């Protein structure tokens, strides 16, 4: 046997098998780990997908809730607006009704006030009319006449007469003042009636009046005022105005006539102011005379 000879080493079959088995197990282990990793990755991805889907669902729900909330808010706003408008309409109707009622009440009050005023005016008018009727019935009424035999006509003497102031009323006349005139009037002319209303010391008329006055004239108790024709002298003092022969001749021939006229002013017991205008006339000889205005002059109030 040679020195280079080496005896064969017996193969460890069991060891080889064991090594192979170990390698296979490692491979299996790696495959399992790889598979587990893949499964973990798949699970992660699956979980990620599920999470994303869940987030999407949540977001959709949130959007839906937001939309529903917006819709509900809008609905509530519309409903509240409608309720507000309805409340405003009701309030406006109530205000209009109150204003209408106020107008009706004011109109009724105005009509009542007008009716009361008319009633008051009518009552006042009736009262005034009754007072006026009482005053007219109870007041003094003065009239003037000429006491017979009338006018005295004598040459070189002032024509004269007596005026009689009578009260036909039921109460006294007070503060009686009379302007009395005796005038020879040319036939065709009228007496100087404009002078009759001239009262007062500063009143100067041609011819001048004879002024008679008395404090009171009672009913059925006449006041007599003797009168003459008068004139102003050179000093504007009143004096008797005697008849001239020419005036006597004019009276006798019908070319003149005699006017007896004047105005009486007085107050009644109710302090009402009155006046009586009077005129009567006469002639010496019969004929037609211009005495129409004398009759028209008579008046009382």
Is residue 153 within 8 A of residue 243, CB to CB? The reply is: yes
Pairing of strands 223-228, 160-167: antiparallel
Q: Is the pTM of this model over 0.75?
A: no
Structure tokens at 284: 């010496």
Structure tokens at 66: 């937001």
Question: Alpha helices, DSSP H only, in the chain?
Answer: 13-138, 245-252, 292-297
Q: Please state the domain extents for the chain.
A: 15-138, 142-300
Strand partners, 144: 165
* Alpha-carbon gap, residue 116 to 75, rounded angstroms: 59
Q: What is the pLDDT of residue 17?
A: 63
- Per-position pLDDT tens, the chain of length 301: 455 555 555 555 666 566 666 777 888 888 888 888 787 787 787 777 878 788 888 888 888 888 888 888 888 888 888 888 888 889 889 998 999 998 999 999 999 999 999 999 999 998 989 888 888 899 999 999 999 988 889 999 999 999 999 999 999 999 999 999 999 999 999 999 988 888 876 677 778 889 999 999 999 999 999 999 999 888 888 899 999 999 999 999 999 999 999 999 999 999 999 999 999 999 999 999 999 999 999 999 9
Q: What is the pLDDT of residue 3?
A: 54
Collapsing DSSP states into helix, strand and coil, what is residue 299?
Answer: strand
Read off the pLDDT of residues 197-219 as tens digits, 9 standing for 90 and up.
888 766 777 788 899 999 999 99
Collapsing DSSP states into helix, strand and coil, what is residue 196?
Answer: helix
Tell me the fold of 142-300: Immunoglobulin-like (2.60.40)
Residues 159-188 as b or e (16 or more Cβ within 10 Å = b): bbbbbebbbebebbbeebebbbbbbbbebe
């Amino acid at each position: 046997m040679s020195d280079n000879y080496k005896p064969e080493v017996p193969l460890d079959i069991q060891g080889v098998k064991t090594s192979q088995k170990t390698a296979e197990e490692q491979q299996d282990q790696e495959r399992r780990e790889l598979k587990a990793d893949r499964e973990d990755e798949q699970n992660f991805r699956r979980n990620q997908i599920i999470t994303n889907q869940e987030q999407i669902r949540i977001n959709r729900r949130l959007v839906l809730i937001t939309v529903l909330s917006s819709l509900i808010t809008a609905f509530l706003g519309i409903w509240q607006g409608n309720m507000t408008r309805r409340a405003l309409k009701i309030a406006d109707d109530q205000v209009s009704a109150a204003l209408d009622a106020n107008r009706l009440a004011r109109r009724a009050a105005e009509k009542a006030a007008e009716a009361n005023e008319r009633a008051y005016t009518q009552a006042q008018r009736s009262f005034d009319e009754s007072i006026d009727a009482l005053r007219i019935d109870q007041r003094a009424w003065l009239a003037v006449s000429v006491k017979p035999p009338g006018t005295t006509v004598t040459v070189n003497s002032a024509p004269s007469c007596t005026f009689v102031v009578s009260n036909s009323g039921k109460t006294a006349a007070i503060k009686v003042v009379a302007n009395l005139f005796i005038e020879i009037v040319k036939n065709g002319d009228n007496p100087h009636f404009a002078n009759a209303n001239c009262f007062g010391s500063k009143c100067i008329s041609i011819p001048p009046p004879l002024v008679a006055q008395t404090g009171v004239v009672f009913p059925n108790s006449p006041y007599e005022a003797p009168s003459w024709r008068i004139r102003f002298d050179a000093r504007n003092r009143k004096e008797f105005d005697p008849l001239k022969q020419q005036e006597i001749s004019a009276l006798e021939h019908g070319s003149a006539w005699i006017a007896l006229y004047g105005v009486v002013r007085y107050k009644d017991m109710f302090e009402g102011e009155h006046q009586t205008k009077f005129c009567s006339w006469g002639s010496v000889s019969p004929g037609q005379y211009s005495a129409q205005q004398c009759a028209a002059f008579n008046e009382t109030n």
